[in-house]
Structures are given as structure tokens and as C-alpha cells.
A and B are shown apart, each in its own frame.
Chain A
């Protein structure tokens, strides 16, 4: 039973560039959430996708956008990269019977470095 998989593992980009991160949820899960984790901090919620729609968004600018595909996999896109976007990006999946208490299953993350 495959868990949450994220690609790539590491990424180095230059300021102003655009990046796409990918996530495949755990088998059987239909909800995908994205979190940004700066060094030494707890994860910060970016947004959550359910039924191919953005269901909730955190306090992140419009440069951060996402998508969920019919097979429940998801992408996170960041435009006009800033140095401050350097972080570990975590994808988490869950099964949503409308349950906000559903435990999240996390991937290993994508380490993004912006130079």
C-alpha cells in the first residue's frame, strides 16, 4: 500500500522563476493538503483540495496555486519565486467523509531552495 509520494525530492530555483511540485495521495484517499515548513518552524497551511476544488486556503499570496486531478493527485505551483519561498513543502492526504478530524498522512516533502 503506497503512502503519499512527492516529487521532486529537492529543487533549486532562481528568484523570479516558477516551480511545480507534485503529490500522489495514499491509496484510497481523496483529499490533499499542502503545507509550507520553514526551517525550524511548524508547517503552515497553504490550501486543501477536495473533489478537484480548492476547499480552503491559508494566508498565502496568489502566487501560490494548485490543482487536483480526477485521480486525486495534486500539484502546487509557485510563481515569481522569492528567497523567502525557500522551505520544505509537505503534501498530506486524508479520506474525507466530511471529517475534519481525519488524520493526515504526509509525504517526505520537497525541499525548495530559491537563490
Chain B
């Protein structure tokens, strides 16, 4: 079974500052994929960043970067220079590899960026 845990139900940050969202996961597979998705009030889930487990280099996408610690099964998301538009629910998700096509999501972290 694959599991994803997000231990921070809510977080807040001031505009232009940096914030880190935590995620831990579990899978028995050695090759898998991790994702961060953002869900603003408009409801549409938007991909923020993707990490392949066999790649040691941490993924980055503009202001978004991850800290992937494979041995610790940790996958945190860092948002730099936070903007008001970053206010959303953030979900960590795992595709556990093997014969598994589904994404397993965490419960989410509600991030509020304050002006």
C-alpha cells in the first residue's frame, strides 16, 4: 500500500517571504513519482512540480523547489517570494510505481499568503 501524509493542515506566510510545506510518504517500490498539486478556490487542480524517485537532483520550477530525501521518504515543497496568487490548498501526491497507475494524495495543506 502507498500512503501520503501532510502534517500541516494550515500555514500562512507574508507576501515575498519563503515557506516550506512538508510531506512524507511510504511505498514499497523503488521507482516512483512524487507530485505537488495546487488547488485554488476555483477548484481546478494544477500541477506545481514533479519528481522522479530515481533522479537524485531536486526538481525546481521557477519559485517552486522540492527537497527530496529518498531514504527518509520526505518530499517538501519550498515556495520562494510568495505571492498572493499562491494562496491555495496544496496536495502532495504519490504514484507508487510497479503496476500502480493511481495517484495517492495527502489531505492537503491550506496555504494563505498575507499582504
Contacts and interface: CB of A to CB of B under 8 A. Distances in A.
Query: A and B: partners?
Result: yes
A109 B43 contact: yes
Interface size of A as a range: 20 to 34
A16 interface: no
B64 interface: no
Interface string B6-41: 000000000000000000000000000101010000
A92 B45 CA distance: 9
B45 A101 contact: no
A106 interface: yes
B93 to A, nearest CB: 8
Interface residues of B, number: 25
Interface in A27-62: 33, 35, 40-45, 48, 55-56, 58
Given A100-B97, A101-B95, A56 B102 contact: yes
Interface in A59-115: 88, 90, 92, 100-101, 103-109
A92 to B, nearest CB: 7
Interface of A: 33, 35, 40-45, 48, 55-56, 58, 88, 90, 92, 100-101, 103-109
Interface of B: 4, 33, 35, 37, 42-47, 50, 52, 91, 93, 95, 97, 100-108
